[in-house]
Amino acid sequence: MGNKQTIFTAQQLFHRYRDLAPQLVPLDYTNHPDVKLPYELIGSMPELKDNPFRQRIAEVFSEDGEGNMTLDDFLDMFSVLSEMAPRDLKAYYAFKIYDFNNDDFICKSDLEKTLNKLTRNELTEDEVRMVCEKVIDEADLDNDGRLSLEDFQHMIVRAPDFLSTFHIRI
């Protein structure tokens, strides 16, 4: 029964952000200080630390693409992963997260990486190859052997659990 989550405010998020490294982040943000938290700190948040895609998430949302986040990036991440974010936005970022090599297509190597992260390398190579082929076979509409953003969106908006699983609660 989908209850609306109380909206977490920027205040709360800011405190979460600051709690990660109180010595780095100033309390006063009026002058927009240029502070970045390294990926090690971001990835060790309890919300992310068990997520196999945490590094990708941090990379996608950080401005420098290396996982070091400013407060804005941080807010961005949690606004996309909040329950309120619209489906298309989520789909867009999910695509970016699963697109490991940043080439705007999910190709076989991306799929393999995703699968290996999901199963902790417990599938054999044949199985991995087969699953990847099946995925491409199912979702690739224009037949170029890789998933474009459109393919991905077309597939993901039909998924019953996408919205319920692709969010983080603080």
Which residues are near another protein by CB under 8 A?
Answer: 1, 3-7, 9-11, 46-47, 49-53, 63, 72-73, 75-76, 79, 81, 84-86, 88-89, 92-94, 98, 111, 114-115, 118-120, 122-123, 127, 130-131, 134-135, 138-139, 141-143, 152, 155-156, 158-162, 164-169
* Residue nearer to another protein on the CB measure, 23 or 122: 122
Give Cβ neighbours of residue 21 (< 8 Å, ≥ 6 apart): 37, 41
Task: For the CB of residue 33, give the shortest distance to another protein in the complex, in Å.
Answer: 14
* Residue nearer to another protein on the CB measure, 23 or 34: 34
Task: For the CB of residue 22, give the shortest distance to another protein in the complex, in Å.
Answer: 21
How far apart are the two ends of the chain, measured CA to CA in Å?
19
CA-to-CA distance for 160 and 69, rounded, in angstroms?
Answer: 31
Tokens 């609306």 -> residue:
4
Task: For the CB of residue 21, give the shortest distance to another protein in the complex, in Å.
Answer: 19
Task: For the CB of residue 120, give the shortest distance to another protein in the complex, in Å.
Answer: 5
Residue type at 49? K
* Residue nearer to another protein on the CB measure, 23 or 35: 35
* Residue nearer to another protein on the CB measure, 20 or 23: 20
Give Cβ neighbours of residue 121 (< 8 Å, ≥ 6 apart): none
Which two structure tokens, joined as six digits, stand for 141? 């509409």
| Residue 169 DSSP class | -
Check if the beta carbon of residue 150 is closer than 8 Å to that of residue 141.
yes
Residue type at 121? N
* Residue nearer to another protein on the CB measure, 101 or 134: 134
CA-to-CA distance for 127 and 130, rounded, in angstroms?
Answer: 5
Task: For the CB of residue 170, give the shortest distance to another protein in the complex, in Å.
Answer: 10
